[in-house]
A and B are shown apart, each in its own frame.
Chain A
Amino acid sequence: MSLVSIHNISKSYWRDSLEIPVLKNISFDIPAGEFLALMGPSGSGKTTVLNLVAGIDRPNEDGDGRPGGSVIIDGTDITKLNESQLAAWRSRNIGFVFQFYNLMPVLTALENVTLPLLLTKMSKKERRERADFALKLVGLGDRVHHYPRQLSGGQEQRVAIARAIITDPTLLVADEPTGDLDKVSAEEIMNLLERLNKEFRKTIIMVTHDPRAAEKAHVIRHLDKGELS
């Protein structure tokens, strides 16, 4: 059964009055437990696909102002949710891993990891236990009180992964998670993502330029000029 089901999605951006089409009527399905790598040249629309699946961007509307096509994640067509519904849905269902980690610089590793849990009704003790577990899982059990500036790039990305998995999301989206890392750190991050997929059955969609990173995925799809192959 498909966890992600995308049908007839197009997306354009506007620069002043100039329309720049990025995705052209694409459709694809991703089964639960899949580890998918999206590859393609710069500007091909990889990150746009990821943003649409993660609910942080919306597809083009049809002539009547309704969403053109559908993005169905675990049975929910997220194109039909309003902004606050979408925010609540994201907090429960999506884990994000960004290329530049995007940690809060003023918060410690523990506080960064705990952030998504602040939107739940979980007690402080439960949040702490979960965060400790997530940080241990990514190998940073001894760095809980370190600030991002006190961590290496690879360690920062591991904190970001811990933050992404702490709510036990349905889907993990990673936008070039190794793009800012050296070879060794990149290898560690990819091993971690592979472990999350295999051991914890996390469905992962990853955008990457790195063929070595893509090798860890089960399926590799290519995007070029807004079309999926």
Chain B
Amino acid sequence: MFILHLIHKNLFRHKLRSLLTILGITIAVLAFGLMQTVVSAWNAGVAASAADRLIVVHSVSFIYPLPLSYKARIERLPGVETVSWANWFSGVYIDEAQFFARMAVDPATYFKVYPEFIVSDDALAGLAGQRNGTIIGALIAEKYNLKVGDIIPLEGDIYPGHWEMKVVGIYRGRDKGTDESQMLFNWEYLDQSLLQTQPARAGRVGWYVVDIRNAAERARISADIDSLFANSPAETKTQTEKEFQQSFVSMSSAILTAINIVSVVIIGIILLVLSNTMIMTARERFREFAVLKTLGFSTIHLAGLIGGESMVIAGLGSAIGIALTFPISDAAERGLPAGWFPVFNVELSTLAYAAGSAFVAGVAAAAVPVLKTLRMKIVDGLRQVG
């Protein structure tokens, strides 16, 4: 109790220094939290990928479409549960800054292979029954104040023309990491329009999503799919969904590496800020520590006194930093162009790393002053001018 009492009294002996140190740690923890949240958001697609979903794209590049006729052949392969497909539509809503995924999907199968998209039966029936029907994610609905029955006008770019989609339902994510910022409309609408305007592009899909019965068989089924279309005009490349997502993330790997390096540097800054304070603090109090030793206080008491103060400063800075990470991350998400990061959540692991780093910094920063104090001879400490 005495140690806690003395730590409390000592903590604000130099109020400005203690407050600046706590502030320094707060800012460092906050910066660490935000950077790691960005990294997590970047990797959210990979993290949310299912092990039992395969993505089949054109072997040259995913921008080249595949014939719809592949669906039936893939379905017949052993181990395949459901085959669905989608086309990347893109298009412009309001202006080019309003970005979110817009895709033409097969109403009958798409929500079967993506069970993490929670949608009502009415919405599904609406999507299947209404040619220009669309189901949108809850984030988009909230951001643009859209509700069932509203019309979403789009100017096509990959698929030129003016398009009008009618909202027939709003999906929610089953998990926290599920992307709720997609707009999924009836593939038939796209295909029928293409038949009239650009018949050569009709009957083609951007990629297939293959739901398999046993995730352990993914390598065999991937090879089976690709061999099925080998030497055809549209050879395929089949990957797990995770690999497919990673191929996008790897394009930004240099940026992510840089962010991770800066995060580590921030941890170093926490350590330096705290070490500096603790070394100054201990040096000023050597005489007091010598008096405590003289009175019979043990090395454990002194280590507790210095280490405890360091831990309290680190703990306070880290707690405030973590508490601020949530509102500031929310503000950052609102400030980013819509759809940049469909999932922008502060992960529990990020908070754990931040708190853990502050804890390690607290211990490490106290190590040098504790050792110096323990090695100090009482007579030398008493001679010290405070």
Contact = CB atoms under 8 A, between A and B. Distances in A.
Contacts of A105: 13
A84 B298 contact: yes
A154 to B, nearest CB: 19
B9 A116 contact: no
Interface residues of A, number: 23
B13 A106 contact: yes
Interface in B268-302: 287-288, 291-299
Contacts of B293: 56, 87
Interface residues of B, number: 21
A106 B296 contact: no
Contacts of A51: 378-379
A96 B288 contact: no
B382 A91 contact: no
Contacts of B288: 102, 104
Interface string A10-26: 00000000000000000
A98 B295 CA distance: 12
Interface in B93-131: none
A32 B132 CA distance: 106
Dominant secondary structure at the B interface: helix
B295 A91 contact: yes
A92 B295 CA distance: 9
B291 to A, nearest CB: 5
Given A51-B379, A56-B378, A98-B382, A107 B295 contact: no
Contacts of A92: 296
Interface in A87-141: 87-88, 90-92, 96, 98, 102, 104-107, 111, 115-116, 118-119
6 contacts: A56-B378, A57-B378, A96-B295, A102-B382, A106-B9, A119-B296
Interface of A: 51, 54, 56-57, 84, 87-88, 90-92, 96, 98, 102, 104-107, 111, 115-116, 118-119, 163
Given A57-B377, A111-B5, 14 more contacts: A84-B298, A84-B299, A87-B297, A88-B296, A90-B294, A96-B294, A98-B291, A104-B291, A106-B6, A107-B6, A115-B292, A118-B2, A119-B295, A163-B295
